[in-house]
Copies of this chain bind each other. A is one copy, B any other.
Amino acid sequence: MNVFVIGIGLIGGSIVKDVKRLIPNTTIYGIDASEVHIEEALSLGIIDEKADYTQLSIADVVVVSIPVDAMITELPKILDVINDDCVVFDAGSTKVKICKELGNHPKRRNFLACHPISGTEFSGPSAAINGLYEGKTNIICEVEKTAFKLQERALELFKILGMRIRYMNPEAHDKHIAYVSHLSHISSFMLGKTVIEKEKNERDIFDMAGSGFESTVRLAKSSPAMWTPIFKQNKENVVETLDGYINNLTEFKKMLLADDYEGIYNEMNNTNKIKEILNGIPLNKNK
């Protein structure tokens, strides 16, 4: 089987590492805008060969893991050159614009809109790891628009990687992912900013930071090149989550200023139920 990965970083790199490890007789072809990434991926054994779009006609599976703005320009070009029996899936963190853009493409049936929900705060080929997707959720949108046997091929691959599948429409995906992923990234980046601004002349102060701080700012290490287009494409939903979040923080501050400690206790106590919710997150089931 010929598997192409377009964009060889944490996400795509980890997918093809598992594919190569778990599926026999697979050749991995890599395409990336960065020559440095290609060389790195070759030397790390993540890809077998460097390739370009003219070779896509021999692909059985194409994994597209590039920033979501590049998805809009590249996915139509990729679909243009693949053969009729090839399945292309993406790994973008937004789904509405991508699905809309490809809606009328003659090869829409060759495309499966996906969002495998897994990752770390690191990026580039060296961030790719084995087993990143084991037990994790893969959201698939507009599954009915993909040819049945190509769905099957992709699902078989996801099964081998250990993913759970959830089907959702693109609008619901973008709305909910804004809450459970995009907002977390902004809260983390702005927390990092607030502390750096305040403490810029007192680096030793970070000696005082514990694992709690580390946990809440971990996502502030994420790639701006990846995340800027996500916020752009999901602007409306992200603004809504920010409104809710800023409002809750402002209310908390007001309670503090009013010495309403019973109110503060109740806020925290009510939010403690996040424990049970987190226990339900698939990522915990495999730990």
Contact = CB atoms under 8 A, between A and B. Distances in A.
Question: What copy number does this chain have within its complex?
Answer: 2
Contacts of A232: 259, 261, 264
Given A121-B212, A139-B208, A246-B246, 12 more contacts: A117-B208, A117-B210, A137-B207, A166-B208, A179-B198, A180-B213, A183-B194, A187-B216, A190-B271, A207-B281, A221-B275, A224-B272
Contacts of A272: 220-221, 224
Interface string A201-225: 0110111111111111111111011
A85 B229 CA distance: 64
Most buried by B among A185, A239, A244, A266: A244
A193 interface: yes
A256 B281 CA distance: 30
Interface residues of A, number: 97
Contacts of A197: 244, 248
B256 A246 contact: no
A208 B180 contact: yes
A199 B281 CA distance: 14
B193 A181 contact: no
Contacts of A229: 261
B180 A224 contact: no
Nearest to A219: B212
A99 interface: no
A281 B216 contact: no
A94 B218 CA distance: 25
Contact of A177 (B208, B238, B257): B208
Contacts of A271: 189-190, 192-193, 196, 220
Contacts of A212: 119, 121, 181, 184-185, 218-219
Interface string A262-287: 00111111111111011011111000
Nearest to A228: B265
A185 B210 CA distance: 12
The CB with the most chain B CB atoms within 10 A, among A119, A166, A210, A284, is that of A210
